[in-house]
């Protein structure tokens, strides 16, 4: 570890918070439907969409109606994307004459992009047509991200409203997330990426002659437009198989830095949006601080582990024990480990390094980031929703300790709220452990592993952690493009995503019906420095109790064996 590397990480967090504050305030105005300086531009577009779609923007829904609209919309997206992937060989925009995907792979990919996971069991440059990339994958990158934003807005409204069963209109929230936030940001970011060298074209692949006089085929395609929403929406699906380690996706250190910032921008900004919408900015700041604490711990541990390198190589007298394996010299260890933690602390999953080449502890950190429920910023919208659930769990535990009905932001936390909160935590965790247990117990699961022993186990549990956490990054070493993994991981993605979203909407609906409880001398204050420390402790303890035994079978024992 170097002072320059540590400074780089600290500077990143300072810039992130500096950008998140004004952006979060802007999003609060958008979802509160307040006036902004961009009304003249976006309001006519919004009205036109409502007119064509026959949406009555002043008609709100209860949480059940909201959930039905969300589920049906995503089901339609799943079917539509599945058909595109199956039929892409017969659609235009296919200069390389690629065929349609097989049924298991098309199901896996459709489930992956609809759930904001973007797990890719294929190589984009040899599988996906331009039409499939643009009309199929990129569209779902926008829609899945916007869906996550609508969910957390419902939870926030639950805290800010009282004595009502109305939590908003799904179609209005979805439209405003798209028109007022995602599309403008993506256009700006796409233009920046093109200026840095990210390609954007629909040309056939180019054959070139290298300096060694060998022939090489260079893949082309509309990359910058997908790269922008891939990061902004915490999607992570790369245009190319190497993802952000590919020079056509991530051509410069400046582009790498902007990608890293864009991944967490909306997630961090939503914390500020939360504080603004509940009329107490300290509550949003407390949640943001809790996320930054967990983020700092993960980055610090991973950076230290990778700086030490492989101890087996150090034993043979090599001065620098293979620290750069799987990383790029133009980005370095601190930039690589910062990106690694950012992408797994969020629901993004884009990568600029080979995770399978990390040290056991360095590889365990991104795994743990996802196992915690990706509440450290997390997927766009759903990450803050998950952290608010841990905040509810924290005040519930405190209430048990002092013998008082727990309250959070003036709302009593009752039996229904706790049941839904436990489901939000339990469903993704169960998907990880049960999916891994089935995989390691079956021939179809174990024969796809290239590395046996604890490292092979790590590859399997990482795959299910990534799928359950709506992340999509891979540990490599696992031949995931098989019928067993395509189907099982696809099922995990759907169960974990919507098995957490529906209880989150239920929590929002329950809270909105309640009357505010006035502060008293016995009220536990959640806007004081002690609260983020307690939330962090609860997140870590729940994660350790759930996953420590599994981690002991994988990266922990592997680290001990190396030494």
> Span 224-230, mean pLDDT?
93
Tell me what pLDDT residue 322 has. 58
Q: Which of 75-89, 345-359, 420-434 has the lowest mean pLDDT?
A: 345-359
21-31 mean pLDDT: 95
* Rounded Cα–Cα distance for residues 46 and 69 (Å): 19
pLDDT at position 317 over 80: no
pLDDT of residue 154 exceeding 90, the answer is: yes
DSSP 89-148: GGSS--TT-PPPPPHHHHHHHHHHHHTT----SS-HHHH--HHIIIIIIIHHHHHHHHHH
- Per-residue confidence (pLDDT) for residue 141, from 0 to 100: 94
- Arithmetic mean of pLDDT, 195-203: 92
| Residue 524 DSSP one-character state | P
Helix (H, G, I), strand (E, B) or coil at 466: helix
Per-residue confidence (pLDDT) for residue 536, from 0 to 100: 94
Averaged pLDDT, 452-466:
91
**pTM across the whole model:** 0.92
For helices 281-308 and 253-277, angle between their N-to-C axes, nearest 10 degrees: 150
CA distance 102 to 77: 18
Give dist(CA 286, CA 423) in Å, integer: 24
CB atoms near residue 35 (< 10 Å): 8
pLDDT value at residue 352: 87
Write out pLDDT tens, residues 504-560. Answer: 999 999 999 998 888 777 778 888 889 999 999 999 999 999 999 999 999 999 888
H helices of 346-453, in order, are 360-371, 382-402, 415-440, 443-446
First to last CA, the chain: 20
10 Å CB burial of residue 197 (0-12, 13-18, 19+) is middle
- Residue 296 predicted with pLDDT over 70: yes
- Tens of pLDDT, residues 318-337: 555 556 777 777 788 888 88
Q: What is the largest CA-CA distance in the chain?
A: 79
Which tens digits make up the pLDDT trace of 384-439? Answer: 999 999 999 999 998 888 777 788 988 899 999 999 999 999 999 999 999 999 99
| Mean pLDDT for the chain overall | 91
Residues in the chain: 563
> 480 - beta bridge partners?
none
- Distance, CA of 88 to CA of 81 (rounded, Å): 10
For 186-200, 305-319, 360-374, which range has the lowest pLDDT when averaged over its residues?
305-319
Select the more confidently predicted residue: 331 or 316: 331
pLDDT of residue 31: 94
pLDDT at 311 over 80: no
pLDDT at res. 306: 85
Report angle CA 210, 216, 218 to the nearest 5 degrees.
110
Least confident span in 12-16, 261-265, 437-441, 478-482:
478-482
Asked if residue 367 has pLDDT above 80, the reply is yes
Q: How far apart are CA 74 and CA 170, in angstroms?
A: 12
SS (H, E, C) 116-128: CCCCCCCCHHHHC
- The secondary structure element, H or E, covering residue 215 is strand 215-218
Residue 19: which of 295, 192, 232 has the closest Cα?
232
Please say whether the beta carbons of 541 and 452 come within 8 A. Answer: no
CA distance 502 to 427: 11
Least-confidence region, from 174-183, 430-439, 444-453: 444-453
């Amino acid at each position: 570890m170097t002072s320059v590397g540590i400074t780089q990480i600290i500077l990143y967090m300072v810039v992130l918070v500096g950008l998140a504050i004004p952006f979060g305030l802007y999003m609060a105005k958008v979802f509160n439907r307040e006036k902004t300086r961009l009304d003249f531009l976006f309001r006519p577009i919004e009205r036109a969409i409502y007119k064509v779609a026959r949406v009555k923007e002043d008609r709100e829904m209860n949480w059940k109606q909201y959930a039905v609209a969300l589920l049906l919309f995503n089901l339609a997206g799943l079917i539509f994307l599945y058909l595109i992937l199956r039929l892409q060989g017969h659609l235009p925009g296919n200069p390389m004459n690629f065929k349609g995907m097989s049924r298991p792979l098309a199901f896996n990919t459709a489930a992956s992009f609809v759930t904001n996971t973007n797990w890719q069991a294929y190589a984009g440059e040899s599988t996906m047509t331009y039409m499939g990339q643009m009309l199929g994958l990129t569209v779902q990158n926008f829609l899945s991200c916007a869906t996550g934003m609508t969910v957390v807005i419902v939870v926030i409204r639950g805290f800010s409203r009282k004595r009502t069963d109305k939590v908003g209109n799904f179609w209005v929230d979805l439209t405003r997330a798209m028109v007022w936030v995602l599309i403008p940001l993506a256009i700006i970011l796409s233009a920046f990426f093109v200026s840095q060298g990210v390609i954007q074209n629909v040309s056939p692949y180019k054959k070139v002659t290298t300096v060694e006089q060998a022939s090489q085929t260079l893949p082309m395609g509309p990359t910058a437009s997908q790269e922008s929403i891939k990061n902004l929406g915490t999607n992570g699906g790369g245009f190319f198989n190497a993802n952000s380690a590919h020079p056509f996706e991530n051509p410069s250190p400046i582009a790498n830095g902007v990608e890293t910032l864009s991944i967490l921008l909306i997630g961090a900004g939503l914390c500020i949006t939360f504080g603004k919408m509940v009329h107490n900015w300290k509550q949003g700041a407390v949640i943001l601080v809790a996320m930054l604490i967990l983020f700092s711990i993960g980055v610090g541990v991973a950076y230290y582990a990778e700086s030490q390198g492989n101890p087996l190589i150090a034993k043979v007298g090599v001065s620098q024990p293979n620290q750069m394996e799987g990383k790029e010299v133009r980005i370095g260890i601190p930039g690589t480990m910062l990106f690694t933690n950012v992408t797994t602390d969020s629901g993004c999953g884009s990568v600029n390094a080979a995770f399978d080449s990390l040290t056991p502890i360095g590889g365990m950190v991104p795994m743990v980031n996802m196992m915690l429920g990706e509440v450290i910023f997390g997927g766009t919208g759903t990450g803050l929703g998950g952290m608010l659930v841990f905040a509810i769990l924290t005040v519930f535990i405190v209430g048990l300790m002092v013998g008082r009905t727990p309250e959070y932001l003036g709302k009593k936390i009752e039996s229904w709220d706790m049941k839904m909160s436990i489901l939000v935590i339990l469903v993704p965790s169960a998907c990880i452990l049960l999916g891994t247990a089935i995989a390691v117990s079956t021939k179809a699961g174990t024969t796809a592993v290239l590395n046996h022993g604890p490292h092979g186990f790590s590859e399997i549990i990482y795959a299910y952690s990534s799928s359950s956490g709506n992340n999509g990054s891979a540990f490599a070493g696992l031949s995931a493009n098989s019928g067993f993994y395509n189907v099982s991981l696809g099922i995990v993605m759907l169960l974990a995503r919507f098995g957490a979203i529906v209880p989150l909407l239920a929590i929002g609906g329950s809270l909105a019906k309640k009357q505010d409880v006035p502060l008293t001398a016995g009220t536990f204050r959640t806007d004081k420095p002690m609260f983020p420390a307690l939330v962090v402790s609860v997140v870590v303890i729940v994660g350790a109790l759930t996953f420590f035994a599994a981690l002991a079978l994988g990266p922990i024992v592997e680290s001990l064996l190396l030494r």
